[in-house]
A = this chain, B = another copy of it.
Amino acid sequence: MRDLKLSRAFTLMESGPVVLVTTNDGGSDNIMTISWTMVVAFTPLFAITTGAWNHSFAALRRTKECVIAVPAVDLLDKVVGIGTCSGADTDKFAKFRLTAVPGKVVKAPLIKECVANIECRVVDIVRKHNIVVLEGLAAYVAQARKEKRTIHAVGDGTFIVDGRKFDRRKMMAARIPSGV
Protein backbone atom coordinates (compact mmCIF):
# COMPACT_ATOMS: atom_id res chain seq x y z
CA MET A 1 0.00 0.00 0.00
CA ARG A 2 1.24 3.43 -0.95
CA ASP A 3 0.69 6.64 0.98
CA LEU A 4 -1.90 8.99 -0.47
CA LYS A 5 -1.70 12.72 0.21
CA LEU A 6 -4.26 13.60 2.87
CA SER A 7 -5.54 16.43 0.68
CA ARG A 8 -6.71 13.75 -1.77
CA ALA A 9 -8.20 11.33 0.76
CA PHE A 10 -11.73 12.74 0.44
CA THR A 11 -11.74 11.51 -3.18
CA LEU A 12 -11.68 7.92 -1.87
CA MET A 13 -15.09 8.50 -0.25
CA GLU A 14 -16.91 11.17 -2.24
CA SER A 15 -18.40 8.74 -4.76
CA GLY A 16 -20.25 6.99 -1.96
CA PRO A 17 -18.77 3.46 -1.87
CA VAL A 18 -19.83 1.01 0.78
CA VAL A 19 -16.91 0.75 3.20
CA LEU A 20 -15.55 -1.48 5.93
CA VAL A 21 -14.80 0.29 9.21
CA THR A 22 -12.37 -1.43 11.55
CA THR A 23 -11.91 -0.88 15.26
CA ASN A 24 -9.72 -2.36 17.98
CA ASP A 25 -11.14 -2.54 21.48
CA GLY A 26 -7.76 -3.07 23.14
CA GLY A 27 -8.01 -6.83 22.73
CA SER A 28 -9.51 -7.76 19.40
CA ASP A 29 -10.15 -6.23 16.01
CA ASN A 30 -13.61 -5.89 14.52
CA ILE A 31 -15.11 -4.79 11.20
CA MET A 32 -18.46 -3.29 10.31
CA THR A 33 -19.94 -2.63 6.88
CA ILE A 34 -21.12 0.96 6.52
CA SER A 35 -22.94 2.42 3.55
CA TRP A 36 -24.22 5.61 5.21
CA THR A 37 -21.19 7.88 4.87
CA MET A 38 -20.34 11.29 3.46
CA VAL A 39 -17.47 13.69 3.12
CA VAL A 40 -17.87 16.71 5.40
CA ALA A 41 -14.67 18.66 4.68
CA PHE A 42 -11.55 18.50 2.53
CA THR A 43 -9.25 18.38 5.56
CA PRO A 44 -10.51 15.52 5.33
CA LEU A 45 -13.50 14.98 7.57
CA PHE A 46 -16.00 12.20 7.06
CA ALA A 47 -19.39 11.50 8.63
CA ILE A 48 -20.72 8.00 9.14
CA THR A 49 -24.06 7.00 10.59
CA THR A 50 -23.75 4.32 13.25
CA GLY A 51 -24.81 3.61 16.79
CA ALA A 52 -25.18 1.01 19.49
CA TRP A 53 -26.85 -1.39 17.03
CA ASN A 54 -23.34 -2.01 15.67
CA HIS A 55 -21.10 -4.00 18.02
CA SER A 56 -18.14 -1.87 16.84
CA PHE A 57 -19.74 1.30 18.14
CA ALA A 58 -18.61 0.74 21.73
CA ALA A 59 -14.96 0.45 20.66
CA LEU A 60 -15.32 3.39 18.28
CA ARG A 61 -16.72 5.58 21.03
CA ARG A 62 -14.21 4.50 23.65
CA THR A 63 -11.00 4.45 21.60
CA LYS A 64 -12.05 7.33 19.33
CA GLU A 65 -10.22 5.61 16.50
CA CYS A 66 -11.05 3.56 13.43
CA VAL A 67 -9.93 2.77 9.91
CA ILE A 68 -12.13 3.26 6.88
CA ALA A 69 -11.22 0.53 4.36
CA VAL A 70 -12.63 0.76 0.85
CA PRO A 71 -13.33 -2.64 -0.74
CA ALA A 72 -13.50 -3.37 -4.46
CA VAL A 73 -16.21 -5.45 -6.11
CA ASP A 74 -14.26 -8.71 -5.78
CA LEU A 75 -14.88 -8.43 -2.02
CA LEU A 76 -18.66 -8.00 -2.37
CA ASP A 77 -19.65 -11.24 -0.65
CA LYS A 78 -17.29 -10.53 2.24
CA VAL A 79 -18.73 -7.01 2.56
CA VAL A 80 -22.28 -8.40 2.71
CA GLY A 81 -21.21 -11.19 5.06
CA ILE A 82 -19.50 -8.73 7.42
CA GLY A 83 -22.66 -6.63 7.43
CA THR A 84 -24.88 -9.55 8.35
CA CYS A 85 -23.05 -11.01 11.35
CA SER A 86 -21.86 -9.48 14.61
CA GLY A 87 -18.46 -8.94 16.14
CA ALA A 88 -20.09 -9.90 19.45
CA ASP A 89 -19.69 -13.56 18.55
CA THR A 90 -17.53 -13.56 15.41
CA ASP A 91 -13.87 -12.87 14.63
CA LYS A 92 -14.59 -11.27 11.28
CA PHE A 93 -10.96 -11.06 10.13
CA ALA A 94 -10.70 -14.84 10.61
CA LYS A 95 -14.14 -15.72 9.26
CA PHE A 96 -13.76 -13.64 6.10
CA ARG A 97 -10.03 -14.31 5.64
CA LEU A 98 -9.00 -10.69 5.66
CA THR A 99 -5.55 -9.50 6.67
CA ALA A 100 -5.22 -6.94 9.46
CA VAL A 101 -2.25 -4.65 8.83
CA PRO A 102 -1.01 -2.27 11.53
CA GLY A 103 -1.50 1.40 10.74
CA LYS A 104 0.90 4.20 11.59
CA VAL A 105 -1.34 6.30 13.82
CA VAL A 106 -4.26 4.31 15.23
CA LYS A 107 -4.61 0.86 16.76
CA ALA A 108 -7.49 -0.13 14.49
CA PRO A 109 -6.05 -2.19 11.63
CA LEU A 110 -5.93 -1.51 7.92
CA ILE A 111 -7.39 -4.23 5.69
CA LYS A 112 -4.74 -5.42 3.27
CA GLU A 113 -7.24 -6.70 0.68
CA CYS A 114 -8.93 -3.31 0.27
CA VAL A 115 -8.36 -0.72 -2.47
CA ALA A 116 -7.73 2.05 0.03
CA ASN A 117 -7.49 2.60 3.78
CA ILE A 118 -7.87 5.77 5.84
CA GLU A 119 -6.75 5.93 9.47
CA CYS A 120 -9.22 8.10 11.36
CA ARG A 121 -9.89 9.62 14.76
CA VAL A 122 -13.35 10.45 16.06
CA VAL A 123 -13.67 14.22 16.34
CA ASP A 124 -17.34 14.34 17.32
CA ILE A 125 -20.42 12.20 17.86
CA VAL A 126 -23.70 13.92 17.07
CA ARG A 127 -25.82 11.68 19.30
CA LYS A 128 -29.15 13.07 18.19
CA HIS A 129 -28.62 11.79 14.65
CA ASN A 130 -26.19 8.90 15.28
CA ILE A 131 -23.62 10.74 13.18
CA VAL A 132 -19.95 10.13 13.94
CA VAL A 133 -17.53 12.70 12.50
CA LEU A 134 -14.09 11.33 11.64
CA GLU A 135 -10.87 13.08 10.71
CA GLY A 136 -8.58 11.29 8.29
CA LEU A 137 -5.03 11.11 9.66
CA ALA A 138 -3.29 8.96 7.06
CA ALA A 139 -4.42 7.42 3.78
CA TYR A 140 -3.16 4.57 1.63
CA VAL A 141 -4.01 3.14 -1.77
CA ALA A 142 -3.24 -0.31 -3.14
CA GLN A 143 -1.65 0.95 -6.33
CA ALA A 144 -0.83 -2.50 -7.69
CA ARG A 145 -4.32 -3.92 -7.19
CA LYS A 146 -5.97 -4.63 -10.54
CA GLU A 147 -9.65 -4.57 -9.54
CA LYS A 148 -10.36 -1.08 -8.27
CA ARG A 149 -14.07 -0.70 -8.99
CA THR A 150 -15.90 0.08 -5.77
CA ILE A 151 -19.39 -1.02 -4.72
CA HIS A 152 -22.42 1.17 -3.99
CA ALA A 153 -25.17 -0.29 -1.82
CA VAL A 154 -28.72 0.55 -2.86
CA GLY A 155 -30.17 -0.50 0.49
CA ASP A 156 -32.57 -3.13 -0.82
CA GLY A 157 -30.01 -5.93 -1.02
CA THR A 158 -28.73 -4.89 -4.45
CA PHE A 159 -25.39 -3.27 -5.22
CA ILE A 160 -24.09 -1.12 -8.07
CA VAL A 161 -20.50 -1.39 -9.27
CA ASP A 162 -18.51 1.55 -10.67
CA GLY A 163 -19.05 1.83 -14.41
CA ARG A 164 -17.77 4.25 -17.02
CA LYS A 165 -15.80 7.33 -15.97
CA PHE A 166 -16.26 10.86 -17.25
CA ASP A 167 -13.66 13.61 -17.01
CA ARG A 168 -14.99 17.12 -16.37
CA ARG A 169 -11.81 18.55 -14.88
CA LYS A 170 -11.65 21.42 -17.35
CA MET A 171 -15.22 22.52 -16.59
CA MET A 172 -14.56 22.27 -12.87
CA ALA A 173 -11.00 23.58 -12.72
CA ALA A 174 -11.90 26.64 -10.65
CA ARG A 175 -13.77 24.52 -8.08
CA ILE A 176 -11.30 21.72 -7.41
CA PRO A 177 -9.31 22.37 -4.22
CA SER A 178 -5.56 22.69 -4.62
CA GLY A 179 -3.66 19.52 -3.84
CA VAL A 180 -6.29 17.27 -5.43
Contacts and interface: CB of A to CB of B under 8 A. Distances in A.
Given A16-B152, A171-B81, A175-B83, A162 B159 contact: no
A171 B157 contact: yes
Contact of A131 (B47, B80, B162): B47
A23 interface: no
Interface stretch (A58-66, A89-97, A121-129): A121-129
Contacts of A36: 14, 38-40
Contacts of A156: 8, 11, 169, 176, 180
A173 interface: yes
Nearest to A9: B155
A48 B133 CA distance: 13
Q: What 10 A-B pairs have minimum CB-CB distances, sorted nearest first? A: A16-B16, A163-B163, A157-B169, A15-B152, A14-B155, A38-B38, A157-B172, A11-B155, A161-B163, A159-B166
Interface of A: 8, 10-11, 14-17, 35-41, 45, 47-49, 73, 76-77, 80-81, 83-84, 124, 126, 128-131, 133, 149, 151-176, 180
